[in-house]
Amino acid sequence: MVNGELVLEGLTKTYGDHAAVDRLDLRVEAGEFFSILGPSGCGKSTTLKIVGGFVSPTSGRVFIDGNDVTCLPPNRRSVNTVFQNYALFPFLTVRQNVAFGLRRARVGKRELIRRVDEVLELVQLSTFGHRNPSELSGGQQQRVALARALVLRPDVLLLDEPLSALDAKMRRQLQVELKELHREVGTTFVYITHDQEEAMTMSDRIAVLQNGRLEQVGAPSEVYERPQTLFVTQFMGISNMLHATVLPANAGWVARIGDAEFAMAGSPPVSGTVQLSIRPERVRLGGAGSAGALSGVIVDVSYVGAATHYRVAFEAGMTLQAAVPNDGVHSVRNIGERVSVDLSPEDFRLIGEQQLAEAPANDTDVVSVG
Amino acid sequence: MTTDSKRKGIRLPRPLAIFVWAYMVWNLLPVVAAMAFSFNATRSRSQWQGFSTQWWSGTPLSLFDNEEYTAALKHSLELAAMTTVISTVLGTLLALVVTRIRGVAKRPVNFILMIPIVTPELILAVGLYLSLTFITVWPFSVVELGTPAQVVGQVTYTVGFVVVIIRGRIAVLGDGLEAAARDLGAGPIAALVLVLFRLLMPAVLVGAMISFAFSIDNFVITQYLSSDSSTVSIPMYLYTNARGGNTTPALNALATVLVVTTLLAVALASLLYRWATRRESVASDVTGTVALSA
């Protein structure tokens, strides 16, 4: 199966003088599980509606497998949508809902029955065919919506925050099911969500949107570990933001944070001060006396099950968040405890400049601690 | 346990309960009395002298045997049938168009739609009467006083209610289901017929019943736009004859027909609506609208 390549070219949608989607270029490979991630109002839903054919773009084009579909109405695109609120027809049974699209396509009776049976089995609703949607749970209704879209074998399946109305446990379960389903049917999935964890769990690649603009696109690990903008850094989970002074060095440059100096690789930034980010799980806590590290006091402890989150305050008014796994090796610490904090230069991300993100430093150690 | 706490929850103070019951009785008493006297054994409409159905049928003076009564009955039903069909069709179309209006026109259109509903009926009736009598340009010139004018007048009034009811339903439904139909391969017309009309049906039925009930009950507009004795409706007949000396309990029977038909129409509207939306988990406020307008 190679169908389902989706290309957006310079896609723009303006309402008055507000651009909901702003010159968006994207290429979704055939068969990919692709997520469009961003806060509400970032333009992800508008993008989906344009691809589905419900909103026509102000400018730009939409291609599916090389064919320009920008001007086709929704019923003439090989694209189907799983709507956020399911949008099941209340006056039809589950079977009739699933058969709705096949009937519109005038599929023969025997094939219709076979395909409906097949897809109901795929979503594990074989015994629910004669129920009304209102008699099903939220998760089951969601599966009917999936079956109804998948039965038409679309080239691209659009999913508009399909799990947002479900409780956390059901959401986890359906995330796993959706991934399996994607592997089984091989169709291109374009998944809209505002939940970065959900996007990372499920996707092959993620596009992060803000204010209608594409911030970054890449594999989950890439977007999480090498965010290219301040927005992506802060949106993809928790990040510590640090101000650093740029000092010259023989090789690379030196970042001065408070009293500590770190040897950084790559060409030095142009400006005198820069913003660095570091993930809480890369902030390592040591005993009170260990050498070669920053020294601070624990001001807050949050136990979150798999890990314990600490807030550590330093003398310069700076605080850092550290996530320490509860793996039996690390002991749980208390508020007020004095700790040393170990940071490696290669874990720093320079915000707004790309050279660090491309080539992390090789030499690691802290140059000096004041 | 649960019934106990329920009882404790909304216990009315005794004086308030008495007041409510008194109000109920006060509401029902005149209507029930008027209906009861249609079964009186004598000509009296104020003294009960035994049960009989003679004022309903059997004698030349009975409701169903007297030309004057049956003409009024027939004319009222004719008017109601025409008003119901026309205002339901027009109201549905109007509601579909009005809900799709965006931008600056939205507010003025909504306001103008409300005019027949908020204008005193008498003003509307006089206005219509003058327009139809003195304006000699189309379309005013073709509508003659009598049945055509009466239907036009009633529709002018009821169509606003139909629009309000159906627009409320459209607002509750949103455009998600229509979009889903388009997404699954239905063309614009198919989506409208297969999904939207199907979903609007309950509200359309309610609109029809409300139009019917209004038409049967209406006096002012129907009176103003009538022509001769062949265009006398039930309320008109009652108004002209109820206080005269030469009346019989057959008049009460006529009034009973009016009350019962109206109540049936409203009850039917409410039942149909509940039946047609029984599979929807979404609660809707259209039933509230029905209760209000009834």
Structure tokens at A22: 């702003």
Predicted confidence (pLDDT) at residue B287 exceeds the cutoff of 60? no
Residues of chain B found within 8 Å of residue A100, distances taken between Cβ atoms: 181, 184, 186
Number of helices (H) and strands (E), helices first, in chain A?
9, 21
Interface of A with B in 129-168 (CB under 8 A): 132-134, 148-149, 152
Q: In the structure encoding, which two tokens stand for residue B259, read together?
A: 């009350």
- Give the model's pLDDT for residue B158: 93
**pLDDT value at position B12?**
74
Which residues does A194 contact at the CB level (< 8 Å), separation at least 6?
A37, A38, A39, A40, A44, A161, A164
At B23-49, the pLDDT tens digits run: 999 999 999 998 999 999 888 888 888
In this prediction, residues A23-31 reach a mean pLDDT of 94
Q: Does residue B277 carry a pLDDT above 70?
A: yes
Domains of chain B in start order, with CATH, are 67-293 (1.10.3720.10)
User: Average model confidence (pLDDT) for chain A?
Assistant: 87
- Specify the pLDDT at position B276: 81
CA distance A234 to A70: 34
The torsion of the CA quartet A213, A218, A222, A228, rounded to 10 degrees, works out to -30
Q: Residue B37, CB half-sphere, CA atoms under 13 Å: how many?
A: 19
Distances, alpha carbon A65 to alpha carbons A77, B118, B219, in Å: 12, 57, 67
**Residue B282 clears pLDDT 60, i.e. is over it:** no
Q: Buried (b) or exposed (e) across A80-109, using 16+ Cβ within 10 A?
A: bbbbbbbbbbbbbbbbbbbbbbbbbeebee
Cβ separation B180–A83 shorter than 8 A? yes
Enter the tokens of residue B274: 């509940």
Q: Which residue has the higher pLDDT, B90 or A3?
A: B90
Q: Are B159 and B87 in contact (CB under 8 A)?
A: yes
Residues 6+ apart with CB under 8 A from B66: B60, B250
Across A247-251, A256-260, B59-63, least confident range:
A256-260
B187 in contact with A at a CB cutoff of 8 Å?
yes
Q: Is the peptide bond before A360 cis (omega within 30 degrees of 0)?
A: no
Local structure of residue B105 (DSSP, 8 states): G
Q: Which residues of B64-82 are buried (b: 16+ CB within 10 A; e: fewer)?
A: eebeebebbbebbbbbbeb
For chains A and B, count residue pairs whose Cβ atoms are closer than 8 Å.
Answer: 64
Q: What is the largest CA-CA distance in chain B?
A: 73
B184 to A133: CB separation less than 8 angstroms, yes or no: no
pLDDT interval class at A215 (50, 70, 90): very high
Q: What pLDDT is stored for residue B281 in this prediction?
A: 55
Residues of A whose CB is below 8 A from B186:
75, 100, 104
Q: What is the pLDDT of residues B116-172, one digit of tens each?
A: 888 899 999 999 999 988 887 788 778 888 999 999 999 999 999 999 999 989 888
| pLDDT given at position B2 | 44
A210 contacts chain B (CB < 8 A) = no
What pLDDT, on a 0 to 100 scale, did the predictor assign at position A251?
A: 83
pLDDT in tens, A216-246: 999 999 999 888 888 898 888 888 888 888 8
Q: Which residue has the higher pLDDT, B147 or A331?
A: B147
Residue A293 binned pLDDT confidence (cut-offs 50, 70, 90):
low
Residue B283: pLDDT over 60:
no
- Above 80 in pLDDT, residue A367? no
- With cut-offs at 50, 70 and 90, classify the pLDDT of residue B285: very low
Q: What is the mean pLDDT of chain B?
A: 86
Residue B135 to residue B117: CA distance in whole angstroms? 23
- Over residues B18-26, mean pLDDT: 93
**pLDDT of the residue at A227:** 85
A304 falls in which pLDDT band (50, 70, 90)? confident
**What are the chain A neighbours of B199 within 8 Å (beta carbons)?**
90-91
| Cβ–Cβ gap B180/A89 under 8 Å | yes
Q: Is the dihedral of CA A282, A285, A291, A297 positive or negative?
A: positive
Residue B253 confidence (pLDDT) above 80: yes
Per-residue pLDDT reduced to its tens digit, A344-366: 888 888 876 544 434 344 333 33
Using pLDDT thresholds of 50, 70 and 90, give the confidence band for residue A17: confident
Nearest to A22 by CA among A55, A46, A4, A49: A46
Q: How far is A4 from chain B (nearest CA, A)?
A: 17
Q: Which of A200-214, A293-307, B70-84 has the lowest mean pLDDT?
A: A293-307
pLDDT of residue B4 exceeding 70, the answer is no
Q: Is A104 on the interface with B (CB under 8 A)?
A: yes
Widest CA span in chain A: 80
Distance CA A2, CA A187 (A): 9
User: Under an 8 A CB cutoff, do B184 and A149 touch?
Assistant: yes
**pLDDT, mean of residues B182-207:** 91
A55 touches chain B (CB under 8 A): no
A79-82 and A156-160 as β-strands: parallel, antiparallel, unpaired?
parallel
B175 in reach of chain A (CB within 8 A): no
Q: Which amino acid is it at B140?
A: F
Chain segment A122-180, per-residue pLDDT in tens: 999 999 999 999 899 888 999 999 999 999 999 999 999 988 888 888 888 889 989 99
Would you place residue B291 in the very low, low, confident or very high pLDDT band (cuts 50, 70, 90)?
very low
Residue A93 has pLDDT above 50, yes or no: yes
Residue B6 pLDDT > 90: no
Contacts 24+ apart (CB under 8 A), A322-328: A322/A280, A322/A283, A322/A284, A322/A285, A323/A238, A323/A279, A323/A280, A323/A281, A323/A283, A324/A285, A325/A281
Could you tell me the domains of chain A? 6-227 (3.40.50.300), 238-369 (2.40.50.140)
